[in-house]
Amino acid sequence: MTRPAAACWGAVARTVSVVLVIVVGLAAPAAAHALPTAVAPDCTEPGGRITQVSWAQRLLAPERVWSFTRGGGVTVAVLDSGVDASHAQLAGEIRRGVDVRGGGSAVADSDCRGTGTQIAGVIGAWQTQSTGFVGLAPNAAILPIRVVGEQDPVGEPVPPQVLAQGVRAALDSGADVIAVPVVSYTDAPALRDAVADAVRAGVVVVAAVGDKGGEPGGGPTPYPAAYEGVIGVGAIAETGVRWPNSQAGGYVDVVAPGAGIVTVQRAWGLTVAEGTGVACGFVAAAAALAIARRGLRGAAIERLLLATAVPGPGGPEYGHGVVNPYAAVNDHLVQRETATLPALAPPTRETASDWLRSRDFAVAGAALLGLIVIGVVAAAITLPRGRRRRWRAAMAPPPPRVEEPEEPGPPLLLFDEQR
């Protein structure tokens, strides 16, 4: 082969190599997106591209709060199916977590079902140039606690013993806020004690009230939302009314957006979610913002969130109203307990007798004073007349006598007669 021919073939080879590199580079993102499905075919499909800002984000207006705080330094535990730490809008904020279903030794920074990642998204997702979606507290750290397995039926309640282990794992891992978007319908001592320990430790516990609101009676009692010291969260739709499946009862403390909510999906992209679990995420994020801004904990944060909520239409399905992150961060509330008035003691017998005697003296004095005034007035009238008569009795002079004519005079003409 001649030198010009060799040079020609060399140029062709280099061109082909460059083209192959470009093709492989373009195909790499697609392969990376398809990888989770190939490795775990039973997992939820990755998300898609959503550019519009959801109504929930416009309602809660997180950008108004970010000039004061973004939730930095606060850790929010999410008790669900784990959280996908590889998602672009969650990268760097997800801790390794604890997999309770795996015996506690495994981590929970992956998510096959996708629900835990969705909750983590409304709490702390970063904003990117390709989407308008962002979490309410993007600087908060997310601690995933897996209490839902990959094979668990969707919508089934979580055993209370598993939830109790999840609460204790979050407490032991240093969580400031524990978000429980899943529900148990069994009041078990293990769960009750675990929640009580978290509340006593100053941890804010936020729990969904369940998605069985369409059942007769409003659904069974949800736990841990019904426990003392837990903030029970219901869901509202874009119209401001209760989402039909959101349960109603005395366990609802506040409500938050929970229908048609844009959030992140496992692997990549965004999705639309609904439920009281998503609403629970919004309230947990508001608690994280208030903690970061005010430095309060536990019951003080609960009281703050309830007092600053925007009143809803009323009724047990709305609790104190819609969570208000801006007011929770900025409003000033009286933290002291209201002072009560001392009890009034009944008067003693001696005190009552003294009061009665003083009353009698006052009445007698007033009567005597009245008589004196009457006497003075009478004297002022009679004394001058007595002096004029030189104190002699006299009759009043008779009236003057007027003589009347015996015959009347001629009649008076009022008008002259005209002839």
pLDDT per position as a tens digit, 387-402: 766 666 555 666 776 6
Q: pLDDT per residue over 155-175, tens digit each? A: 789 999 999 999 999 999 999
Instruction: From 305, 309, 315, select the one nearest 285 (Cα to Cα).
Output: 305
**pLDDT given for residue 221 in this prediction:** 96
Residues 6+ apart with CB under 8 A from 157: 182, 183, 184, 185, 186
Q: Are 240 and 234 in contact (CB under 8 A)?
A: no
Return the structure tokens found at 311. Answer: 């009143």
What average pLDDT does the chain have? 83
Instruction: From 304, 283, 306, 303, select the one nearest 293 (Cα to Cα).
Output: 304
Q: pLDDT per residue over 144-154, tens digit each? A: 999 998 888 87
**pLDDT given for residue 334 in this prediction:** 58
Q: Are 52 and 155 in contact (CB under 8 A)?
A: no
Pick 329 or 219 by higher pLDDT: 329
Q: What is the pTM of this model?
A: 0.72
The residue-averaged pLDDT of 105-120 equals 94
Helix 189-200 / helix 160-172 crossing angle, nearest 10 deg: 20
| SS3 category, 1 | coil
Count Cβ atoms within 10 A of the Cβ of residue 107 and give its class: 0-12 exposed, 13-18 middle, 19 or more buried.
middle
Q: Domain 55-328, what fold? A: Rossmann fold (3.40.50)
* CA atoms of 52 and 54, how far apart (whole Å): 6
**Domain range summary for the chain, segments of one domain joined by +:** 55-328
Count Cβ atoms within 10 A of the Cβ of residue 146 and give its class: 0-12 exposed, 13-18 middle, 19 or more buried.
buried
Q: pLDDT per residue over 235-255, tens digit each? A: 999 999 999 999 999 999 999
